[in-house]
Amino acid sequence: MHFSILFHPNKPESPKIAQEVADWLQAKNHTSWIGNTFNESEVHEESQKSDLMIVLGGDGSILRAARFATPYDTPILGINMGRIGFLSETDPQNWPTVLDKFLNNQQWIETRLMLSATHVRDGIETASFIALNDFVIGGTRARVVRLDLSVDGDEITTYTADSLIVATPTGSTAYSMAAGGPLLPPLLNNFVLMPVAPYLSLDRALVLHQEAVATIRIRTDHGAILTVDGQETLELIDGDEIKITRHHHVARFARVGEKGYFYRRLFKRLGFER
């Protein structure tokens, strides 16, 4: 088997452990490639050839890796070196046990919804993005933006808010949760719209069906911005539209624990474990 091992350049221990993983795999007659999560072209190329992408870092590193791996249906296994580690399957102390189970076909694959966003200006599609966590549309200053929402071609409402989060079930445990949104398990394929600091407009979460097409039209006189998984950005102007729907690929995660792990892990990570 061939493995991609991605390390985070700003975490001193990450490259060292990446080499340890590579040596361990080599001893078991498997090949591997070690790369920096920010070397996009190299990671894209290696994703096509890999049986598994091993990611050393926090949830942010895994979000970035998912955008590389998803188009090729390459599964991801995270070794948590961050603060929370919602998406990781193991840690720097226990990765040999987890990888050994993977090599002995004792894993299962968890699929997670990815979202696709298309930017439209003057009727022309100018850019597209995919996200595992969320898209956030908000103002560039400490002022509200007005966002006209249509779902499946029907005009629904206008948000007046600091921003609007469009989150997957994976993203429902992140910014959306902090804004008061619902927690959705990864088995669901729905996505949720959650306004941040709404003013005299809808202040509740709106859960959309998996095939929904959400179109958000920006109305502002001071600029706005689209943020993708907290990592990529696109400047927006008055009249721009963002069309969001499910991506035709899903993110795939290699798991070795019980399939009912989600709620137990969630509450443990949040500090509410019984």
Divide the 274 residues of the chain into consecutive groups of 10 and give the mean pLDDT of each group: 93 92 97 92 89 94 94 95 86 95 95 97 96 95 92 97 97 94 93 96 95 97 94 96 97 90 81 70
- Read out DSSP for the chain? -EEEEEE-TTSTHHHHHHHHHHHHHHHTT-EEEEEETT-HHHHHHHHTT-SEEEEEE-HHHHHHHHHHHGGGT--EEEEE-SS--SS-SB-TTTHHHHHHHHHTT--EEEEE--EEEEEEETTEEEEEEEESSEEEEEESSSS-EEEEEEETTEEEEEEEESEEEEE-TTGGGTHHHHTTPPP--TT---EEEEEES-SSS--S-EEE-TT--EEEEEE-SS-EEEEETTTEEEEE-TT-EEEEEE-SS-EEEEE-S-TTHHHHHHHHHTT---
Catalytic one among 23, 51, 59, 221?
59
pLDDT in the model for residue 274: 65
- The CATH label, of 3.40.50.10330, 3.30.590.20, 3.30.530.20, 3.40.50.720, for the domain at 2-112+250-269 is 3.40.50.10330
210-241 confidence digits (pLDDT tens): 999 999 999 998 889 999 999 999 999 999 99
Q: Note the pTM of the prediction, 2 decimals.
A: 0.93
Question: Has 59 been annotated as catalytic?
Answer: yes
pLDDT in the model for residue 235: 97
pLDDT in the model for residue 273: 67
- The CATH label, of 2.60.200.30, 3.90.1300.10, 3.20.20.140, 1.10.540.10, for the domain at 115-246 is 2.60.200.30
Query: What are the extents of the domains in the chain?
Result: 2-112+250-269, 115-246
pLDDT in the model for residue 6: 96
pLDDT in the model for residue 120: 98
pLDDT in the model for residue 262: 84
